[in-house]
Amino acid sequence: MGQLTSLLTTRGTRIETEDGEGVHLKGVGLGGWMNMENFITGYPANEALMRSSVARVLGQERSAMFFDRLLHSFFGPADAELLASMGLNHVRLPINYRHFEDDERPFEIKEDGFRHLDRVIDLCADAGLYTIIDLHAAPGAQNHHWHSDNVTHVPLFWQHPHFQDRAVHLWEVLADRYKDRPEVAGYNLLNEPADETHERLTRFYERIVGAVRAIDPRHILFLDGNTYSTEFDVFQEVWDNTVYTCHDYASAGLSFGGEYPGYTRGEWVDRDLLEEKFLRRSEYSRKTGTPIWVGEFGPVYTGEPRLDEQRAQILDDQLEIYSRYDAGWAIWTYKDIGLQGIAYTPGDSVWMQRFGAFAAKKHRLGADRWGTTGVGEAAVTDPVRQLADREFPTFQPYPWGRQDWVNTLLLNVMMAQPLVDEYAELYRGMSDDELLELADSFSLENCAVRETLAKQLTAAAAPVS
């Protein structure tokens, strides 16, 4: 095992080893791995729906073979070594509860789900990288969107205590398994919760913190704020050895973003605004004297050189701000099909040759929320938006208002879900060897590296002299 022999702990605003050596967490999120996201690997809608459709085409056994190979290929020794060579020191590991428990058999833990999690924790440790286990998709879905594997737009996690019971039980199992593993920096208990009442999340955090601490009192807890980790009024007390995590996406750096500096959806976005929003999102950490860690941030790249230069400037500005306020960070995301990743599948890869045309259709229809402008076929979608504005002018549903609600239902559910069967059909007729070759598209040896991004992160990860 690697040299990570000391559990990390918080001491005031610092994260330290047990011997008092400061550890400034700078790393990446491994999105698209044990929680597959549609924009990362190119499928439509949500993961569970996609997997079931692919299984109908390939059969359960061959489908399981393919996805198991994909998990192996997506992160291996070379990936850990690349990240370590850049000077990064940790990897946030998003997981979907479905790897560890089936809805048909709640509370029955699947030991097989730990194969890949243990494998990557070990690989990272061997390379000198800490890991943070992140429950990205909880039973019932803790937020409204695809990244919690939500098949609708309703976060049922908050409405049914049964789902919360299962999340607590899973974390009890995880805490018991990793309580003596210093390579694990800590537990990110719930990614981007979205509780409209702002009360149920408070009660849930009180419960789950107590449950985990009863088993593992030593690992750091990373607690996301409410409303996708941007609001922190749900916390009633400051827990020991806890980091209050903010996410800090810049609107100008997203798929619908405009010029930088410039206007994005009517808001002037420049470096000063980036700092203002970061200070707002990190206020609770600064007020309570606890470590600042930005659990997600990072621009989406367009392929258009001028705009991508501006996206690179956004990232430089954010990294400089984080450095000035001594904030740790984990950029989103490490590997994908070319939107955000440090490593990505190039256009001539086996993966993109098979799915490239489909991805273009998905983009045209606006079915991919993170990777498109959210317009779709304007001749169809604009009248629906206008109708909603005209007929329901005071309707502003949580979390992001009327237009986001329309786009979610119209594009990311109604348009995306019929595309799932079309996507699955692209697997039909493939031999076992072809499936394995397809999965291996995500091996680092078959990927390209976004060199500008890698150089920016390497520079930001360098120790301050």
Q: State the catalytic residues.
A: 192, 296
Q: Beta strands of 191-281 (E only): which ranges? A: 220-224, 242-247, 262-264, 267-269
DSSP 8-class letter at 84: H
Cβ atoms of 44 and 362 within 8 Å: the answer is yes
User: How far apart, in whole angstroms, are the C-alpha atoms of residue 314 and residue 254?
Assistant: 11
User: How far apart, in whole angstroms, are the C-alpha atoms of residue 332 and residue 248?
Assistant: 10
Q: CB neighbours (10 Å) of residue 1?
A: 11
User: How far apart, in whole angstroms, are the C-alpha atoms of residue 178 and residue 6?
Assistant: 13
Q: At what angle do helices 451-461 and 305-324 cross, to 10 degrees?
A: 10
Q: Which two tokens stand for residue 302?
A: 């367009």
Q: Which two tokens stand for residue 162?
A: 């049964």
Q: Which two tokens stand for residue 289?
A: 């004297």
Question: Using alpha carbons only, how large is the chain's radius of gyration in Å?
Answer: 21
Sign (positive or negative) of CA dihedral 56, 57, 61, 63: negative
In the chain, the N- to C-terminal Cα span, in Å, equals: 29
Strand partners, 220: 186
User: Angle 38-123-455 (CA atoms, 0-180°, nearest 5)?
Assistant: 65
Residue 97, CA distances (Å) to 101, 103, 108, 189, 215 in order: 6, 10, 12, 12, 20
Residue 174 backbone dihedrals phi, psi, to 5 degrees: -65, -45
Residue 119, CA distances (Å) to 17, 76, 352 in order: 24, 9, 27
Q: Which two tokens stand for residue 184?
A: 């694990």
Sign (positive or negative) of CA dihedral 173, 176, 182, 188: positive
Strand partners, 221: 187, 242
Q: Which two tokens stand for residue 112?
A: 């097989």
Residue 180, CA distances (Å) to 134, 169, 171, 175, 398 in order: 18, 19, 15, 9, 40
Cβ atoms of 415 and 376 within 8 Å: the answer is yes
User: How far apart, in whole angstroms, are the C-alpha atoms of residue 67 and residue 198?
Assistant: 37
